[in-house]
């Protein structure tokens, strides 16, 4: 048996370039070192705004994003916010859905499977007694996150489900959400000259 690798564009994925990129990384593993960044400014109350644009990767600063991306976050009214954006924890749900979906499309293309539709619904259960400091047992974060995928494409149900499983195995966001990572925080308190 020979593994079949499809090298034609599919699902909007430039498969030849994808494989060329993998080959380039195999030849120079140091180009796989990336640093992503976000800059946030507090607006008022629980409302703040992040700007995301530059990152380091493939041996250089990226300049391909000509315009910055900007996102607001806030608490809802019931949590004494002003609804200027989703809550921070909802962005975690967006992150896991988009990471798994991007991987799924890449893997499907590499396997020669044409996708018709991929949608997902993510739910996260959280007991805010933790955040409120009102419980000795409730954690601050989500107790559980559930991701439900609907995948339609030109392959058997087993092959379509296997795309999600392989995407999970290679997902950066899944890894962080399940296994955690090192988070370091430091603070400067600039004093304005009088």
Positions 25 through 84 that interact with a second copy (CB under 8 A): 25-26, 29, 32-48, 50, 52, 55, 57-58, 62, 64-65, 69, 71, 73-83
85 binds a second copy per the rule CB under 8 A: yes
Least gap, CB of 16 to a second copy (angstroms) = 10
Name the residue among 46, 38, 54, 48 with its Cα closest to residue 72.
Answer: 48
Between 6 and 82, name the residue whose CB sits nearer to a second copy: 82
Q: Which of 7, 8, 114, 170 binds a second copy (CB under 8 A)?
A: 170
- The kind and range of the H/E element at 18 are helix 15-27
| Nearest residue to 37 (alpha-carbon basis) of 59, 57, 64 | 57
The single residue among 5, 87, 110, 137 that binds a second copy, judged by CB under 8 A, is: 87
Among residues 151, 154, 193, 194, which is the contact residue for a second copy, using CB under 8 A?
151
Q: Say how many residues touch a second copy, by CB under 8 A.
A: 133
Minimal CA–CA distance to 73: which of 54, 51, 55, 53? 51
Ranges within 105-134 binding a second copy (CB under 8 A): 105-106, 115, 117-134
Task: Supply the minimum distance, in Å, between the C-beta of residue 112 and a second copy.
Answer: 16
CA-closest candidate to residue 171, choices 120, 100, 106, 91: 100
User: CA of 15: how far to CAs of 7, 109, 119, 160, 193, in Å?
Assistant: 5, 7, 22, 18, 56
- For residue 95, state whether it binds a second copy (rule: CB under 8 A): yes
* 102 part of the interface to a second copy, by CB under 8 A: yes
Q: Which residue's entry shows tokens 């149900």? A: 157
| Cβ atoms < 10 Å from Cβ of 105 | 19
Minimum Å gap between C-beta 194 and a second copy is 13
**Pairwise CA distance, residues 137 & 22, whole Å:** 45
Assign 26 to helix, strand or coil.
Answer: helix
CB of 111 to a second copy, least distance (A): 14
For a second copy, give the closer residue by CB, 1 or 121.
121
Q: Which is nearer to a second copy, 1 or 105 (CB)?
A: 105
């Amino acid at each position: 048996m020979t593994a079949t690798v499809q090298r034609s564009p599919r699902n909007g994925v430039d498969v030849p370039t994808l494989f060329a990129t993998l080959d380039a990384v195999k030849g120079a593993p140091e180009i796989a070192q990336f640093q992503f960044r976000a800059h946030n400014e507090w607006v008022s109350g629980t409302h703040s705004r992040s700007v995301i644009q530059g990152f380091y990767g493939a041996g250089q600063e990226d300049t391909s994003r000509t315009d910055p991306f900007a996102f607001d976050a806030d608490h809802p009214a019931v949590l004494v916010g002003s609804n200027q954006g989703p809550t921070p924890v909802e962005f975690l749900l967006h992150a896991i859905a988009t990471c798994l979906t991007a991987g799924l499309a890449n893997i499907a293309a590499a396997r020669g499977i044409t996708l018709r539709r991929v949608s997902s619904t993510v739910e996260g259960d959280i007991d805010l007694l933790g955040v409120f400091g009102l419980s000795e047992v409730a954690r601050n974060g989500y107790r559980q996150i559930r991701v439900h995928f609907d995948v339609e494409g030109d392959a058997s149900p087993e092959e379509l489900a296997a795309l999600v499983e392989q995407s999970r195995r290679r997902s950066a966001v899944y890894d962080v959400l399940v296994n955690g990572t090192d988070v370091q925080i430091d603070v400067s308190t600039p004093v304005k000259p009088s």
